[in-house]
Amino acid sequence: MNQVLKTASVAALLWCVGCAPGLLRDLPDPVFATPAQPKATPAPSVKAPPPAPAPSRKPARRSIDGATVVVDAGHGGKDPGAQGVSVMPEKAVNLAVALILAQELSDRGAKVVTTRDTDRFITLDGRAAMAERNRADLFVSIHSDAAQRAAASGSTLYIARNASDRSRRAARSIEAAFKRARIECRGINGAGFRVLVGHSRPAVLVECGFLTNRNEARKLNTSSYQAKLALAIADGITDYFSK
């Protein structure tokens, strides 16, 4: 009996040894059957972008919506105006300042009518008629001055001798704006200029400076000073309508 058991045990052992390779091939290899998982790569740290700078804003312009302003560039065409020691004739200086003024007033909401926007001749009565026809809330005529005395300098404001209170207030507002801008101003005078008395609307004539003064003529020929004058006049007009 013991011999039989021994024989059976030996036979079973031999069978297992012979079959083991096949059995191992059928069993999953824990190393090769399950692929190794790649190590997770840590995500690169991303810094939050700095906040965008706030856009710069220009100071808001005060609105003069609803106001009708006639801007008159004095002289033009066959009428050059004064020359003095200036490179540019008066008609060209006047037009340059008037066009900048017209754009500035338009940007502030005014309805702007220009008597001329090119080098052309218009009669004084024709200019006055534009103020009446457009029912201007203000007529502003732009000029440059001349004098026999070469040292004469500064801007001058003119209104009709029998000017309305509105004309006086407009002139005072422009005068104050000139002073704030440090533009020399000789004050407000009464005159009988046709563009002031040939219509019933409020009106101011601005002499921007003397073309017979060498230093002032040099400034009046520069776009920067022309813009400075125009902006000051626009500020004065805005103050007038604001009141």
Beta carbons of 178 and 232 less than 8 angstroms apart: yes
Which is it for strands 155-160 and 138-145: parallel, antiparallel or unpaired? unpaired
Q: What is the pLDDT of residues 98-141, one digit of tens each?
A: 999 999 999 999 999 999 999 999 999 999 999 999 999 999 99
> Under CATH, which number does the domain 68-242 receive?
3.40.630.40
pLDDT digits (tens, 9 = 90+) for 197-231: 999 999 999 999 999 999 999 999 999 999 999 99
pTM above 0.95, yes or no: no
Buried b (16+ CB within 10 A) or exposed e, 60-93: eeeebeebbbbbbbbbbeeeebbbbebebbbbbb
Q: So what's the pLDDT on residue 17?
A: 38
- Residue 67 is encoded by which pair of tokens? 């106001």
**Higher-scoring residue by pLDDT: 17, 223:** 223
How much is the pLDDT for 81? 98
Token pair in block for residue 43:
């995500």
pLDDT at 6 over 80: no
Residue length of the chain: 243
Pinpoint the alpha helices (H) of the chain: 2-26, 90-107, 124-133, 165-180, 194-197, 214-220, 223-242
Q: Does residue 3 have a pLDDT over 60?
A: no
What residues does each domain of the chain span?
68-242
Which stretches of 35-111 are DSSP H helices? 90-107
pLDDT 10s digits, 158-202: 999 999 999 999 999 999 999 999 999 999 999 999 999 999 999
pLDDT of amino acid 95: 98
Q: What is the pLDDT of residue 243?
A: 82
Q: What share of the chain is helix, strand, coil (3-state, %, to 5)?
A: 40, 15, 40
If DSSP codes are grouped into helix, strand and coil, which group holds residue 4?
A: helix
Q: Can you tell me whether residue 111 is helix, strand or coil?
A: strand
The residues with which 145 forms a beta bridge, in sequence order, are: 210
What mean pLDDT comes out for the span 46-64?
Answer: 53
Residue 103's identity, in one-letter code, is: Q
Gap between the Cα atoms of 91 and 9, Å rounded: 131
CA distances from 165 to 36, 64, 169, 201, 238 (A): 96, 20, 6, 11, 17
